[in-house]
Amino acid sequence: MNNPVRVRFAPSPTGPLHIGGVRTALYNYLFAKKSGGSLILRIEDTDQTRFVPGAGEYITEALQWCGIAFDEGVENGGPYGPYRQSERKDLYKPYAEQLIRQGHAYVAFDTAEELEALRKAEANFQVDASTRMRMKNSLTLGAAGTEALLAAGTPYVIRILIPAGEQIVMQDLIRGEVSVQTDILDDKVLFKSDGMPTYHLANVVDDHLMHISHVIRGEEWLPSAPLHVLLYRYLGWEDSMPRFAHLPLLLRPDGNGKLSKRDGDRLGFPVFPLKWKDPHTGETSSGYREAGFLPQAFVNFLALLGWNPGTEQELFSMEDLVNAFTLDRVQKAGARFDYEKAKWFNQQYLKDLPPAVLAGSLAAQTGSGRLPSNEVFLEKACDLVRERITFLTDLPEATAYFFEDPASYDSDMLKKRWKDETPGLIAGFSALLEEADFTDPEILEGIFKQYVETNRINSGAVLAPLRMLLTGRAGGPGVFQIMSLIGKETTLRRLNPAHYLPIIPDPLVGNITDRPPS
Ligand code: GLU
C-alpha cells in the first residue's frame, strides 16, 4: 500500500497567480521533494468564461522565478497528459454518464434565468433534496420526457444527486477529522451545457487518472471536499482516494479577512509574485520580482506563512526547506501577512549575494554609459552599501555618490553640524590627505585619528561634515572606506571649499566668517 507520492498544483488561468497560490505550489513542491515524489502542474481551464489571456504563461513564469520545478505538466509533459483540462475535454463526460446510470446524478434543464428567478424569490435557494423534485430534470420528467428534450437539442447540465441524511467524514492531514451533513450540500453541476466538465468533476477525475496521492490546496476548497469524497465513492475510487490537506488562509496584516487578489496594491504591497497587466482593463498590479525581491527571500518568507519548523530558525534555502518541511507543522489558523517581515528577509539575502551579482543588477538598472566600466569599483561600491539596502532597486540611489559628486547636502546635517569652524577643520584634514596612500581605509583612518588627537578636536565635529561633503548624506558606510574607494582626486575635490561652498545654501554660508586658510 505504499504508493509513491504524487502531488499536483492545479491553478485556473483566471488571472495572475496570487501569493497564496504560490504558497500552495511551494508546499506541494516541498512535500514532493521531501518524500522523493513527483509534482505535477495541471492547468484547470474548463471554465472558459473566466479564462484570461496570458494568465497561463504568467503562472509558469512566476513559478520558475521562485525555483519551483515540476516533474510533469503542461510545460514538460509526462505519462498522464495532456495536463491542460481543455485538452482532455472528451474524457470527462463518460464519468458523468456513469453517475447518471448509477442513480448518483441527473440531467437538469432549468435555465439560468429560471434559477435566477428562484434565487430571487426564495431566500437561500439551492438545488437540493428539498427543491429538486419541483424542477425540470430527468427525475421529474421521467425517461421519455427527458429523451424528448434531449432529442430537441434542449440545453442541459448534469448535476450530482446529493443523498439525504448522510454524514460524510473525511480525514484532513492539517485539520484532522472533518464531518459534514449532506443535507447542507447542494446538487452541484458536474457537467455544463457548453460540453465542459465543471471544476469538481474534472478535478476528481484527473486526480484519479493522474494517480495523485495527496491533494494539498487552499482552505477555500475545504467546503468542496465532501462533494469530492462522494464523487470518489460513487465512481468506485474510494480505496485510492488521495489524502487531503487544506492549507490555512493568508490573512491581511490586520488579521481582518483573507488577503485576496482584489487587495492588489491597495494595502501598500504587492500580492502577486510578478507584475501583471490586466489584458481587459489595462490595470497593472505590482509584483515582488519588480519590487526588488530576490526569489530566495520571497520563497523563504512565504514558506513561513502557515508553516514553522518548530525551532527558532528563520533563514532557509530551498534545500533547507525541503529537508525541514512536514505537513504536520502546517498550522490550522490563518497566517497574517507581514510586509515588513518580507523586507527583512530580503535584506538578509542581499547580505549574502556575491558582489558581482549586485554590480550586475546596478549596471542593468542604471543603463550602460552612466557608470564607470571598472567592475571591481562597481562591486566594491555595491558591497559597501549592501547592509543598508532593502531591495536591489535601492542600489542606484544608495551608490550614487560613488559615481557623481553630491549636488546637495543633507539639510538636517547642515543645520546641526555645520559650524563656523567647520571649513577650517576640513581644510586641516584635507591638507594631510595630499600625500596620503588611499589604497587602505585604515591608513586614512590613522591619519584622521592623529589629526584630531594632535589638534584636540572632537572627532565627530570633523567626521560628520566630512561624510556630508563626500556623500551629501547623514549616514552610510564607513567614511574612510568611501574615501579609499572614490580615491584621492575625488576626495580632495569634494573637500575643496571652491567646490562645496556653492552647494551650501546662502543663509548658512553667510554665517561663515572664519574662512579656511587656503
Ligand atoms: N483549479 C483550482 C484552483 O484554481 C484547484 C483547486 C484544487 O487544488 O483542487 O485553485
Distance CA 364, CA 373 (A): 12
Measuring CA to CA, which residue among 203, 211, 207, 173 is closest to residue 37?
A: 211
24 CA: nearest ligand 1 atom: 8
CA of 217 to the centre of ligand 1 (A): 7
How big is the chain by its Cα radius of gyration, in Å? 33
| Average of per-residue pLDDT across 47-68 | 95
Annotate 41-77 with b (16+ C-beta within 10 A) or e (fewer).
bbbbbbbeeeebeebbebbbebbebbebebbbbbeee
| DSSP designation for 514 | S
pLDDT at site 265 = 79
State yes or no: pLDDT of 237 exceeds 80. yes
CA of 480 to the centre of ligand 1 (A): 57
State yes or no: pLDDT of 297 exceeds 90. yes
217 CA: nearest ligand 1 atom: 8
The three cell numbers of residue 430 are 584635507
pLDDT at site 229 = 98
* Ligand 1 pocket, residue 206 CB under 6 Å: no
pLDDT for 196-235, tens place per residue? Answer: 999 999 999 999 999 999 999 999 999 999 999 999 999 9
CA of 12 to the centre of ligand 1 (A): 7
End-to-end CA gap in the chain: 90
pLDDT for 313-364, tens place per residue? Answer: 999 999 999 999 999 999 999 999 999 999 999 999 999 999 999 999 999 8
* Ligand 1 pocket, residue 217 CB under 6 Å: yes
Alpha carbon separation from 61 to 30, 104, 174, 289 (Å, rounded): 19, 41, 29, 11
pLDDT at site 509 = 63
| Cβ count within 10 A of residue 405 | 17
Q: Band the pLDDT of 371: cuts 50, 70, 90.
A: confident
| DSSP designation for 304 | T
Per DSSP bridges, beta strands 276-277 and 157-160 are unpaired
pLDDT for 443-470, tens place per residue? Answer: 999 999 999 999 999 999 999 999 999 9
pLDDT at site 159 = 98
CA of 200 to the centre of ligand 1 (A): 9
Helices 355-366 and 375-385, axial angle in degrees (round to 10): 100
pLDDT for 152-206, tens place per residue? Answer: 999 999 999 999 999 999 999 999 999 999 999 999 999 999 999 999 999 999 9
pLDDT at site 517 = 44
Mean pLDDT computed over every residue of the chain:
94
- Asked if residue 279 lies in contact with residue 54, where contact means CB atoms within 8 angstroms, the answer is yes
CA of 59 to the centre of ligand 1 (A): 13
| Cβ count within 10 A of residue 480 | 20
DSSP state string for 370-423:
SS-S-HHHHHHHHHHHGGG-SSGGGHHHHHHHHHS--SS--HHHHHHH--TTHH
Per DSSP bridges, beta strands 167-172 and 72-73 are unpaired
pLDDT at site 515 = 46
8 CA: nearest ligand 1 atom: 8
pLDDT at site 261 = 81
Percent of the residues in the chain that have a pLDDT greater than 70, as a whole number = 97
Question: How crowded is the C-beta side of 183, counted as CA atoms within 13 Å?
Answer: 4
| Active-site annotation holder among 33, 188, 261, 343 | 261
pLDDT at site 374 = 86
To test the ligand 1 pocket, which listed residue (221, 222, 229) has its Cβ within 8 A of the most ligand atoms?
A: 221
* Ligand 1 pocket, residue 10 CB under 6 Å: yes
pLDDT for 131-159, tens place per residue? Answer: 999 999 999 999 999 999 999 999 999 99
- Burial class from Cβ neighbours inside 10 Å (0-12, 13-18, 19+) for residue 197 reads buried
Per DSSP bridges, beta strands 167-172 and 176-181 are antiparallel
* Ligand 1 pocket, residue 11 CB under 6 Å: yes
| DSSP designation for 5 | P
Domains along the chain with CATH numbers: 6-73+200-251 (3.40.50.620), 93-172+177-189 (3.90.800.10), 261-351 (1.10.1160.10), 354-402 (1.10.8), 405-518 (1.10.10.350)
The three cell numbers of residue 327 are 505537513
Does the annotation mark 261 as catalytic? yes
| Alpha-carbon 181 to chain mean position | 36
State yes or no: pLDDT of 513 exceeds 50. no
